Structure formats: structure tokens, C-alpha cells
A and B are shown apart, each in its own frame.
Chain A
């Protein structure tokens, strides 16, 4: 088995120490850092995300895989900076105001990282305007909002209205999700995309950011 393949398999099993050591070994053997990233770490995380989406693995398995990915990234990141690797895009994410549920939001963070995004995680109970302030500050591509309560879902609409008032609606892709959210709510509040799970969120995010960039 090749080294990259081995990294991928250990990541899928959530073995952080092995992943870290193997990434170091791969660097020592002068493998291309981008290949280690994309074929060793990120694609493995996407495999785990897809299994999670299909209820083949569950939250604990995703968490240990993400921990292993982060362990690998910690070794790899300095090299990636050296070779000038650009993230796929930048995403600002948080759970909406009044809502403290963050397990799902954290999984979305992990999967977006797995898709190659740079993440700005605002945590929970996030004021609608704060998403926008942060997005403006870091030059984000996407704003992601999570809500698990029917009582806090309207905050998503507040953020979108706020974007419009500030003349920034078209500047950002807005994605929303969480247990009570669905396609019709997405349409109703004028968000761009809803997905029912984290892996699909990452896939869609990557696709639309690349498309938007290609369209200039």
C-alpha cells in the first residue's frame, strides 16, 4: 500500500498519531504536499462524511476522523504555505442567535475543512449582523447558518434581510441547515442552498464556489 493510501486509511479509522507520523514521513520522502493534502487527508474525510450521511458511521467516528485530519494538517500546513496552496474558499459559520445547538454545526465545520475551505467559526448564539461583519472582514465566499429550533430559524431570514439592506446579498453564497430547516424554508427566506447533512453541504459549497469563481 502506498503512503498516501495508508494516511487515508488511518484517517478513516480516526488514528491521529498514525496520521501525524505518516504525514511527516511523506514529507520526509518529498511527496507533494498538495497530494498529501488532497489524496491523503481531504478525500479520506469526505469518505467518512459520505458514510455518515448514509448512517454507516455516526458522530463519534466523524469526530475521531476529524481529529486525525487536524493532526495531519498541523504537520502539513507550514509546507502548504511554502508551496502557496490556496484554500478552495473561505466560509463564515455559526449557530443563529438564541440557539445553542452546535454538534451539527461543528460537523459542518469539519466537513468544510475536509473540502479544503478556510473556516471562520463564530460559535453559537450569533447575532445576524455578526456573520456579515465577519464575512466582510475576512473576504469570505460563503455564509453558513445553523438552526435547530423553530423559534430561532427566523434569525436566518434576519441575516439575509440585513445582507440586502447593506447591498451585499449577491456578494455571498448563503447556506442554511439544521434539523427543522428544509428546501421550502430555504426558498421562503431567500437563502441560496439548504442541505440535510454536512457532507452534502461541503460538496455543494465547493461546487458553487468554484462555479462562481469560474463565472468571474
Chain B
């Protein structure tokens, strides 16, 4: 099987020769040690050297305010959307908005102006064709809506003034639907899957009640999933944390793969997930980054991968439980993860 066949079989929960595996997007500070360990010079070479089944592609976005699509909105109105410092809880420009008219002053960016179609084609074309070409769409409308008000104000508005929350969310979803369409059109036929998502979970449970997730997040999720499906793309939906209670809702809107299995979060034990949802959706993740990958030995990591392969003979993409591998993860543990995942038993 090549990477693509392996991925599609995983999504359909059909037999695989060995599980697909995804490196994720190592943090910039984690990259130098990984490059050295594998004797490579850049991320492109690293992906090939580890034998990643995936090849992530980011949407090009260049506006006067931002050079990444996940930082497209200048909520602080200072023309300096520094992705590093976006913490969601800082007050955003809609902090005091009460009526829908109070949103009028904001200039919504037009994605058509800032996404270069040729650059989309160049990036997608540069990805190896035998890999799973994964568009990193994010389209994190919940997190963006939180940032637009300031997270605490946004969450309180969900209770006290839901109309204003929804009005902003809708604008943001429209932005992403338009942006994604540009990328998908440019990609035609050359993209296999996309990653979309929002962080909804904490270590111990959801951040919002399941009812609120259903009212405020799932409808937008549905639009984004349907759009991707209309282009024949598989959807990997991302949310960190403990999200088991809303996995049925993600399944309901057609999500193909739930990412990540954040292994130590409450209710996210791989075995339980397999029992509850294993015949309805596939997963990605499972190799814990909060203890095992940081403090464990390569042997411990291999043992975990073996265990995951036993629980999920198919239906699981082996990957760290957070895509942003941090600099405290020894590269030898990443190598162990891939070595064990790539063994054909």
C-alpha cells in the first residue's frame, strides 16, 4: 500500500498493511534537534526522512495585517496581528458590542484579495503525489470569535447575548468558506484531505456544555465539512482536550477522522473510543505528548504504538497527541514512533 491507499483504507476502516502515521507540525523550536537527528536541512526533507504518510500544505495568505490565514483578522485594530501573541483572552475590538450595529465599524478582510491562486497551485504542486496531501485549513471560527470579543466576553455572550456571538461567528465562517473555496478550486484533484478544527476541550472535560457546542460550533463545522466533501476531500477534525461527549455530533456532520486522541485527557482512552465510536469514525493521535513522548524512553514509545495497533487494527492514524511537537520531545522518541508504526507485522 502507498500512503494514500493506507489513509483511505484507514478512513473507511478497511484492512491496512500497517497504520498510517503523521508527524504533525513540529514547533519551530523543536525543529533543529529533529533536523540534526535525521541529518536533514528543512521540513520538506524531514517529512520524507521520517517516512511521513502525510504532507501538510498551508494556505498562502498575505494581507497588510497578516501573513497566515489563522491570523487574518486584526481584532486588536493595530495592524499587527502577531500570531505568537494571540492568546484569545486579550480584549478584542468587539468587547463592548451589544447590538448588531456595533459590529459595523469592522472591516472584514476579503480572502480573494490576499490569497494568491498561483502560490496555492505552486504549494500543492510541490507536495509529493504519493503522500496524503493535507490542506491545513483550520478555519477555527470558534477560536476566532472568542478572540474578536476577548474569550471571556465571548463565552459570556453565548449565555447573555447569543445573537451578537452568532453574528460574528457567521461573518467568520463566510470568510473561511470563501477562502477555502479559492484553495480547493486551485487544488482541483491534487488535494486528498483537509484539517479543520477548534479547541473545545480541557484536560477534564469540554470547555462548553455539549448543548452549547451543538448550538454554537457544530453548525459552522457542518458547513465547512460539507464544502470539503463537495470537493471530494476527506475531513480530519481537530480539537484538543477531552471531547468524547461531542464525538457523536462530529460524526453526525460527516467528519471522517477525529484528531487528536489526546491520550491523557478525561474520557479519551483509545480503548474506550474504539469501543464507543470505532465503527463510525476514524481517529488520529494517541501517542501522548504530556508525559510519554517527553519523559518516556524509545522502548516505552514503541510499546505504546504496539498497544495502539492492537486496539485499532485499522481506523487510527498513529500520531503524537498534539500536532505541535514541542522542543522537550527527544527526537529518538519520534523515530521510535515511526519505526514501530511502519513495521509490517
Contact = CB atoms under 8 A, between A and B. Distances in A.
B186 to A, nearest CB: 34
A106 B89 contact: yes
Interface string B153-164: 001101110000
Interface string B62-102: 00000000000000000000000101110000000000000
Interface string A23-67: 000000000000000000000000000000001011111011001
B209 interface: yes
Interface string B320-332: 0000001110000
Given A59-B207, A60-B156, A63-B156, A104 B202 contact: yes
A103 B89 CA distance: 7
Prevailing SS type, chain A contact patch: loop
Interface string B197-238: 000001111111100100000000000000000000000000
B3 interface: no
B36 interface: no
A197 interface: yes
B156 A150 contact: no
B294 interface: yes
A113 B114 CA distance: 46
Interface in A66-93: 67
B286 to A, nearest CB: 17
A124 interface: yes
A39 B307 CA distance: 52
A60 B158 contact: yes
B89 A102 contact: yes
B208 A58 contact: yes
A180 interface: yes
Nearest to A101: B87
B151 interface: yes
A14 interface: yes
A60 B326 contact: no
B87 A100 contact: yes
Interface string B43-77: 00000000000000000000000000000000000
Contacts of A104: 202
B152 interface: yes
Contacts of B205: 55, 58
A196 B204 CA distance: 8
A25 to B, nearest CB: 22
Nearest to A178: B203
Contacts of B152: 63, 106
Nearest to B154: A60
Contacts of A100: 85, 87
Nearest to A182: B291
Contacts of A59: 155, 202, 207-208
Contacts of B139: none
A64 B326 CA distance: 34
Contacts of B208: 58-60
B87 A63 contact: no
A151 B294 CA distance: 9
Interface string A181-208: 0000000000000001100000000000
Nearest to B294: A150
A14 B160 CA distance: 9
B290 interface: yes
B207 to A, nearest CB: 5
Contacts of A196: 203-204
A64 B151 contact: no
Nearest to B289: A150
Nearest to A100: B87
B159 A61 contact: yes
Contact of B155 (A55, A63, A150, A197): A63
Interface of B: 85, 87-89, 151-152, 155-156, 158-160, 202-209, 212, 289-291, 294, 326-328
Interface of A: 14, 55, 57-61, 63-64, 67, 100-104, 106, 124, 149-151, 179-180, 196-197
14 contacts: A55-B204, A59-B202, A59-B207, A59-B208, A60-B159, A63-B152, A102-B89, A103-B89, A150-B289, A150-B290, A150-B328, A151-B326, A179-B290, A197-B204
